[in-house]
Structure 1
Amino acid sequence: MQKATGFHNSPSMPATPKQHFPGRPGDWVLYKDNQLIAFNKPAGLAVVPDKKGSANLLQIGAAYAHHDLYPIHRLDRPVSGVVLFGKKPSAQASVSEQFQARTIEKTYLAIVGERPAEDEATLVHFIREAKGNSSEVVDQSDQAAKRAELRYRYLGSSDRYHLLEIKLVTGRKHQIRAQLGAIGSPLRGDEKYGFKRGNPDKTIDLHAFTLAFDHPISGSRVTLQAPLPEEPVWQAFTEIIDKLPAKA
């Protein structure tokens, strides 16, 4: 169970001069009620406070909601997409238990420079945490290794890049980044895992597209979908994504 830690209301932390995030916090809201609130996190924004004192979604979201927020899950700072917070420790605990039970459904969209050899596959690797806030794929015999599994599907291509849909089976640190790097299809901008150059804003082209969970009070299934980032490289795939089956 996720520890019931939250953030108490205070003025939002200003972004540094080098940081610019599109729109206002209210524009990022995907869902809210008296139990939960979800945002479409901009790439480059931390989810929770860090040692650098960076702008973070937990603090900005609490100031917007005028309510304590409790983290349920995380996204890496360079990644965009759905992030869900509890407004009560009980809501945080309920959804956190669903993550642990693997009844949460999460879909990611990934832009890569090299199209994978197979258009659809299940990837299984063994991953351990490495130096420099990273993970590495290692041999199964490594005692520190944890099994990592994901499923991907090729969706289409733009002039230069390729779009994949990814569903996680396990949830390891930097799992998608490390596994795609291991098959020679690193995420666009992800120099840490093998892409040839970074994006100017230090983001990577991975987007947490959908998140489905059972509501902690009603029990009904809630499916959230985060609109694509506004950058041209993402907007080039709009027609392809619009043709995906509608989420219930």
Structure 2
Amino acid sequence: MEKITDKDILFEDNHYIAVNKRGGDIVQVDPSGDKSLEEMVKEYLKIKYSKPNEAFVGVIHRLDRPVSGMILLAKTSKGLDRMNRLFHDRKIEKTYLALVKNKPERISGKLTNWLLRDRKKMITKAYDREVKNGTYAELDYRIVGHLDGYYLLEVKPLTGRTHQIRCQLAYMGCPIVGDNKYGYPRGSSRRTICLHSRSLEFVHPIKEESVTLTAPLPIDGFWEKFDVLLKTSL
């Protein structure tokens, strides 16, 4: 994707803008040289508001390149600072959706591991015990439903570690569909995996109002058929 349009915007006010990121897009510039979501949002705001200079866009949190869904960015430095504080203090409830082929042993549960980043291989390894230089990671999951041989999981990470959901689900024996980096037998030609940032819930740090932002599933010929499971689980 080279640009974003109004249909990609899930929320906007004076301080924040939420985008439904497409799997395969990078959030910030990286060595690939591909256009980043941060750059695309700057262009979108510059055109929308006829700004003579570059628009301010602050990256609050990140999603891995192959992951789709909700991402929130700041439009002001004040908004960036205050939202960074909410993320740091874990006052944001994050919900993801993941598709796996292997059924978890339990319908719902909590995963707690120590994660160690292998920077040479660019992967994260999970351990049951504390390891040197490791970081504690915790998430809750539940099975939403089952369709066509796939299990849809709702995942709520309580910590925010690099590749946390991908790594912990794989360690549980349930690698995410398409995530051959973490043990799924084949990757996707679209450079995506079936992990979707579904929603963010928080108290707006400036307006002091409760906010719930939700990103619809990707329309890619595969993901959207799982909407039926979301509707029946409500």
Q: What interval of TM-score do these two structures reach, taking the shorter chain for normalisation?
A: over 0.9
* Residue of structure 2 equivalent to 1:8: none
Percent of matched pairs sharing the same residue: 39
Task: Decide which of 75, 87, 90 is 1:87's aligned counterpart.
Answer: 75
Task: Decide which of 180, 183, 205 is 2:169's aligned counterpart.
Answer: 180
* Structure 1 residue 56, shift from structure 2 partner: 1.0
* Structure 1 residue 83, shift from structure 2 partner: 0.6
Count of paired positions: 225
Distance 2:199 2:96 in 1: 7
Distance 1:33 1:228 in 2: 23
Structure 1 vs Structure 2 CA RMSD: 1.4
* Residue of structure 2 equivalent to 1:109: 97
SS in 2 for 1:82: strand
Distance 1:126 1:93 in 2: 29
Change (3 A) 1:116 1:139: closer
* Residue of structure 2 equivalent to 1:26: 6
Q: Deviations over 1:33-88 (max 9, x none)?
A: 11110100000000111122112110001100112111100000100011111111
Distance 1:81 1:33 in 2: 19
* Structure 1 residue 232, shift from structure 2 partner: 2.7
* Residue of structure 1 equivalent to 2:123: 134
Task: Decide which of 64, 84, 97 is 1:96's aligned counterpart.
Answer: 84
Distance 1:244 1:183 in 2: 23
The answer to whether 1:234 aligns with 2:214 is no
Q: How does 1:1-248 map to 2 (within 5 A)?
A: 15=2, 24-66=4-46, 67-130=55-118, 131-138=120-127, 140-245=129-234
* Structure 1 residue 216, shift from structure 2 partner: 2.6
* Residue of structure 2 equivalent to 1:11: none
* Structure 1 residue 236, shift from structure 2 partner: 1.8
Residue identity opposite 1:225 in structure 2: T
Q: Deviations over 1:118-158 (max 9, x none)?
A: 11010111101013221011352421111111000001111
SS in 2 for 1:150: strand
Determine if contact 2:58/2:76 at 8 Å carries over to the other structure.
yes
SS in 1 for 2:222: helix
Determine if contact 2:124/2:167 at 8 Å carries over to the other structure.
yes
Determine if contact 2:112/2:128 at 8 Å carries over to the other structure.
no
Distance 1:170 1:94 in 2: 19
SS in 2 for 1:99: helix
* Structure 1 residue 184, shift from structure 2 partner: 0.8
**Comparing 131-140 with 96-105, which one deviates more in the overlay?**
131-140
**Comparing 133-142 with 99-108, which one deviates more in the overlay?**
133-142
Determine if contact 1:151/1:169 at 8 Å carries over to the other structure.
yes
SS in 2 for 1:181: helix
Determine if contact 2:103/2:174 at 8 Å carries over to the other structure.
yes
Determine if contact 1:123/1:151 at 8 Å carries over to the other structure.
yes
* Residue of structure 1 equivalent to 2:52: none
**Comparing 213-222 with 166-175, which one deviates more in the overlay?**
213-222
Distance 1:207 1:139 in 2: 26
Residue identity opposite 1:206 in structure 2: L
